[in-house]
Amino acid sequence: MRYAQGGGVSDERRQFREEIRMTAAERFAVGEPSSVIAKELRVSVRSVQRWRRAWDKGGPRALRSVGSASPPRLSEAQFTQLERELAKGPVAHGWPDQRWTLSRIKTVIGRRFHKSYTLQGVRKLLIRHGFSCQVPARRAVERDEEKVTGWVKETWPQVEGPRRRSMRGSSSRTSPASR
C-alpha cells in the first residue's frame, strides 16, 4: 500500500500489521471462523480469508512481513547531496533561469548519481522529503518591467477585445443575433 505523503508504510506500522496477522494465525490454529477473527481484530473478512490461505500453505512464517516493497534509490546521504545541489540553483547547473522543474531535477539526479527516475518518481521523492510545489515569491531576475508595462497597455487590449457587445444580447439560442 502506498501513501502520497509517506511513500509507503513505516517500519512501526509494518510491525503493527504483522502482529495483527500473527494474532490471526493463533486463532486459525484454534479453528475460529474468519468472520469472528475479522470482527475482533477490526479488519475485513476478505483480508482474514487471504491470510488463512497463506497460513494454510506456509504456516505462520507465510504471514511475516517481508519488509519494504523496494529500497529507495537515493540514500539519505545522497539526498542530502542533492539538496546541496538544488540550493546552488539551476543557473549553476547550466539552465538559463532560476526555476527548478521536475525534469531539471531529474537531469541533476542522473548526472550526479547516475540514477534514472521518472518525473512522478522525482515528485514523490521530493514530497517524501518535505518539498512542495511553490510559486516564486519574487519576480524573475530577467523580468523587464518597462516591456511588461508596454505590453499590458498596448498589446493586451488588442488581444482581449471589447468587453461589451455593440448591440443588445439575447438569451435565446435560436435568435439569429446569437449565431
More confident residue, 142 or 111: 111
CA distance 49 to 35: 9
d(CA 125, CA 128): 5
- Tens digit of pLDDT for each residue in 20-44? 999 999 999 999 999 999 999 999 9
Rg (CA), the chain: 29
Grid coordinates given for 140: 524573475
Q: Residue 57 to residues 49, 51, 65, 90: CA-CA distances in angstroms?
A: 13, 10, 16, 55
User: If you search the block for the grid coordinates 538559463, which residue do you land on?
Assistant: 96
pLDDT for res 31:
92
What's the pLDDT tens digit per position in 60-76? 899 888 776 667 788 88
| Gap between the Cα atoms of 65 and 63, Å rounded | 7
With a cut of 90, say whether residue 55 has pLDDT above it: yes
Q: Which three cell numbers stand for residue 89?
A: 540553483
138 exposed, middle or buried (CB, 10 Å; 0-12, 13-18, 19+)?
exposed
Residue in the block written with cell 493586451? 156
Residues of the chain with pLDDT > 70, as a percent, come to 82
Residue 154 has pLDDT above 90, yes or no: no
Return the pLDDT at 4: 44
Q: How many percent of the chain have pLDDT more than 90?
A: 44
- What's residue 165's pLDDT? 62
Instruction: Indicate the range of 46-55, 65-74, 91-100 predicted with least confidence.
Output: 65-74
The average confidence (pLDDT) of the chain is 83
Supply 127's cell numbers.
514530497
Asked whether the predicted pLDDT for residue 46 surpasses 70, the reply is yes
| DSSP 3-state of 139 | coil
Q: What is the pLDDT of residue 1?
A: 39
Average pLDDT over residues 105-112: 94
CB 45, CB 34: distance < 8 Å: yes
